Amino acid sequence: MNISKSLEKNWLRESLFLALFWFPPIGVLTLYYVVQREKSLKEGDISQAVRHSSNARYWVENGIICGIGFLTLIAAYVFIKGGDLIPVLSAFY
C-alpha cells in the first residue's frame, strides 16, 4: 500500500458535506474515522492512521451513493403521491 497516498487527504470536507447536507448517518461515521485518523497521526501510529483513512474514504464513497439511493426513494414517493406534494406539477402526477 502506498502510505503517503493514503494519507494525503484527510476527508474532513467530504465528511462534513455528508454529515450536514447529504446523508447524516454515514456522515457521522466518516467524521468518526476522520477524528481517529488525526488521533493516530498525533500518536505516530501510521498504520492505524492509514486504516482509518481508508475507512473514511470507503464510507465517503458509499455515503454519497447511499444518499442518492435515499433520494431515489424520496423522489419515488413524491412522484407517486403526485399533485398532493408538488402543486406546480399537479397537472401531471
Partner 1 sequence: MSTEDHTNLLKKNKLARIVVAAICLLQFLPYLLLRDNAYVRIHDTLEAEWIWYHLLANSGVALNAGPSVVIEQVMNGLYRNAFHTGWSVLLLWITTLGTFKAYVFNYIVVHLIGFVGMYVLLRRHFLRGAHQLYIVLGVALCFSWIPVFTALGVSVAGQPLLVYAFLNIIKKRTKWYDYLIIISFPFYSSIVWAGPPMFALLGIYLIDFFKIKKTIPIQYLFALILLAVVYILVNFQMFSLMFFQDGFISHRVEYNYFYDKELSILASVKEFFLLFLISHYHVGILFSLPILVISAMSFYYDGEESLVKSLLWMIVGVCLFYGFYNWIVYLFAAAIPLIETFKFERVSILLPFLWCLLLAVSLAKINQQGNYQSKIILLLVFQFMIIAFSNDEVLHNVRQLTGQPKKPNYKAYFAEDLFKEVEQHIGKPKESYRIVSFGMNSGIAQYNGFYTLDGLQAIYGLDYKHQFRKIIEGELDKDPTLKNYFDNWGNRCYVFSSELGKEDAAYMNGKHSTKKINQLSLNTEALKNMGGEYIFSSMPITNHISLNLQFEREFDHKDSYWRIYLYKLKSLK
Question: Does residue 76 touch partner 1 according to CB under 8 A?
Answer: yes
Site string for partner 1, 14-53 (x = CB under 8 A): --------x-------------------------------
28's grid cell: 457521522
Which residues, at least 6 apart from 51, have a Cβ–Cβ distance to it below 8 Å? Answer: none
Burial of 81 (0-12, 13-18, 19+ CB in 10 A): exposed
For binding to partner 1 (CB under 8 A), which residues are involved?
22, 61, 64-65, 67-69, 71-72, 75-76, 79-80, 82, 88-93
